[in-house]
Every structure is written in structure tokens, then in C-alpha cells.
Structure 1
């Protein structure tokens, strides 16, 4: 079973924390950031996962693909 990919709720200052399992990958300010973080951990299909609204990515606490301050 693959680790859970989570894009967390937007922060008060903007951006969303991205985690895979218990590992924090970084603070994303765009889909391009999420794609880059996932590529860095070896997901070659990162662009398809993010832009294709894959069920493998869990968008929590806000709408998918929105990064503005909460």
C-alpha cells in the first residue's frame, strides 16, 4: 500500500503543507509546487496525479488547487 499523499488546509499566510505519509515535503503555493515535491520523492506521474485530480491525493480543509490564505 502506497503512503497517503495529503495537501493540507491553506495556511493563514497562504500556501498548503504537503505530506506523504508522515513526511512533510514542503509548503506549496501552486499545483506546480505539489508536482515538484512529488517528483522529488520519485513519483514520475506526479503531474497526472495532481492535474488529473487523482483519488490518491487527499485535499483537506479547502478546495483542491486553491492556495490562498485561509
Structure 2
């Protein structure tokens, strides 16, 4: 994996954020729980929501892990 393999895009009008891992879009997250599940499916079996919130391997665009509504 690259240095920042995970990108969580800004929220859309419905409150969803696209999640990309190593260049592949995995889906639309509606919460940090969804992001955590996508990462588990991508092979990070033991990652927790707390780790997702502070992980340096995740680039949060348009707001951090607590932002789920479009401005």
C-alpha cells in the first residue's frame, strides 16, 4: 500500500462520502462505522473506529471523520 492509500471524499448532499482504497472506490460511507467496515473488507481486519479516526493512512477530504453533512 502507498503512504496514503485511503481517501474519504467530501460529503455529498445526502451525507454520503465515497471511500477509495489504493485507487479503487469501495463504496459510499454514511458514518465512520462504514469506513471501518470498508477497510476491514480491504484486509485491515483488526482496525477499529477509533483507529480510523486518527489514522495517518487516511486522507479526509472536505472534513474529518466527524463530518457527514455537506456544507
Range class of TM-score, shorter chain: 0.7 to 0.9
- Over the aligned positions, Cα root-mean-square deviation in angstroms equals 1.6
TM-score, length-scaled by structure 1 = 0.82
Instruction: Provide structure 1 residue ranges, at least 5 long, that are not aligned to the other structure.
Output: none
Q: Across the two proteins, how many residue pairs are aligned to each other?
A: 68
Alignment partner, residue 62 of structure 2: 61
TM-score, length-scaled by structure 2 = 0.81
Q: How does 1:36-51 map to 2 (within 5 A)?
A: 36-47=37-48, 48-51=50-53
Q: Distance between the aligned counterparts of 1:10 and 1:32, measured in 2?
A: 15
Q: Which structure has more strand as a fraction of its residues?
A: 1
Instruction: Provide structure 2 residue ranges, at least 5 long, that are not aligned to the other structure.
Output: none
Contact 2:32 2:65 in 1 (8 A): no
